[in-house]
Amino acid sequence: MATIGAGEGALVQNRSLIGGVDEIALYDRQIRLLGVKTQEKLKSAHVLLITAKALAYEIARNLVLTGIGSLTILDPAVVTAEDVGGQFFLSENQIGEKVLSHSWYTMISQADRPNLASAGRGSTDSQPRFDVIIATDLDFQTYTIINKACRMVNCPFYAAALHGFYGYVFVDLISHDFAIEREKSNIAPPQETSTGTILNITTKKEIDNVSLLLDEFTRTTHIQKEAVPLLIYLQTLWEFQKRFDRLPNSSGSDLDVFNSLIKERYFDLDQVTPDAELLFSFLHNLRKELSPVAAFVGSCVSVRT
């Protein structure tokens, strides 16, 4: 666990521990899928969520629905017209108010979970020790500072952002176990990495009489063709933020600078010539929030948390 101070924020805390009949019925499907021990860990987990925009709301809503112990939301900003356009529960008469107004965290605390305590303002002294820290919609330098702080106290860190139709999730779990699926080889596998070690090997069994998806649902070629350029654009975006401390525009001198940064950083890749249409779409979507995309990316973050 990690102890990291938080300033102005909202604290949503769960009251009870697993054991009651009502709660077991409430989380029946989740307990069957994850097991009782995992659910107990969720009930004792303390999560810090930094910033309270559309993506953060979706992450918070999903985390609360899983039954986590407490969720602390940190954001001193005020509601803007852009926030109203990207978040269903905000209205125009709230513009200028604190983002963490009564309506924001009340919406989370009333997410069909009567076993959640009422939310309130949390001071630095009253904050729990956080098991996971999630930062959303921040600039690259801020992500870096938070990530370094998390590594110092051995606390898993998640970073996520939304740019219109595009979004990303970065995860630093510090130290963790994971599984890799691959075809069985008759040659002993080497050590995966300088920091990784193979703990055990298991054989996966599959049945043959499974329903097959249509080809259009299993083709990933077009996704792979776009994934690599998008990753390059995202890393170039971070480089642009590091140099100019702002987001680029989709035209004019910013577009020229962005193209030059791509060629400067990735001159040895096949994708040295950017896809003009995809690049324009990526830059044009910066500074935008779309609720359906926020719901998708938010669910990805919460599931992996």
Question: Domains of the chain, with CATH numbers?
Answer: 9-176+292-304 (3.40.50.720), 215-286 (no CATH)
**What are 250-269's pLDDT values in tens digits?**
888 888 899 888 887 776 55
Q: Which residue has the higher pLDDT, 73 or 133?
A: 133
Instruction: Give me the residues paired with residue 158 across strands.
Output: 134, 171
Cα separation of 162 and 104, whole Å?
19
**What are 136-187's pLDDT values in tens digits?**
999 999 999 999 999 999 999 999 999 999 999 999 988 766 666 666 666 6
Structural tokens at position 98: 């604190």
Place of tokens 């249509």: 214
Q: Across all residues in the chain, what is the average pLDDT? A: 74
**What are 10-35's pLDDT values in tens digits?**
555 554 445 566 666 777 777 777 77
Are residues 42 and 66 in contact, defined by beta-carbon separation less than 8 angstroms? Answer: yes
Cα separation of 73 and 285, whole Å?
26
The mean pLDDT of 86-103, rounded to a whole number, is 76
Structural tokens at position 110: 């009333």
With a cut of 60, say whether residue 101 has pLDDT above it: yes
Which amino acid, one-letter code, is at 107? Answer: M
Cα separation of 218 and 142, whole Å?
38
With a cut of 80, say whether residue 89 has pLDDT above it: no
Query: For residue 218, what pLDDT is reported?
Result: 45
DSSP run (H or E) holding 11:
strand 9-13
Of all residues in the chain, what percent carry a pLDDT higher than 90? 17
**What are 235-250's pLDDT values in tens digits?**
899 999 989 989 998 8
Dmax over Cα atoms in the chain, in whole Å? 67
Are residues 42 and 68 in contact, defined by beta-carbon separation less than 8 angstroms? Answer: yes
Query: For residue 211, what pLDDT is reported?
Result: 46
Cα separation of 73 and 59, whole Å?
11
Query: For residue 136, what pLDDT is reported?
Result: 94
Structural tokens at position 179: 């599984």
**What pTM, to 2 d.p., does this model score?**
0.74
Are residues 39 and 27 in contact, defined by beta-carbon separation less than 8 angstroms? Answer: yes
Instruction: Give me the residues paired with residue 164 across strands.
Output: none
User: Who contacts 262 (Cβ-Cβ below 8 Å, separation ≥6)?
Assistant: 232, 233, 236, 272, 274
**What are 192-223's pLDDT values in tens digits?**
566 666 666 666 655 444 444 445 444 545 54
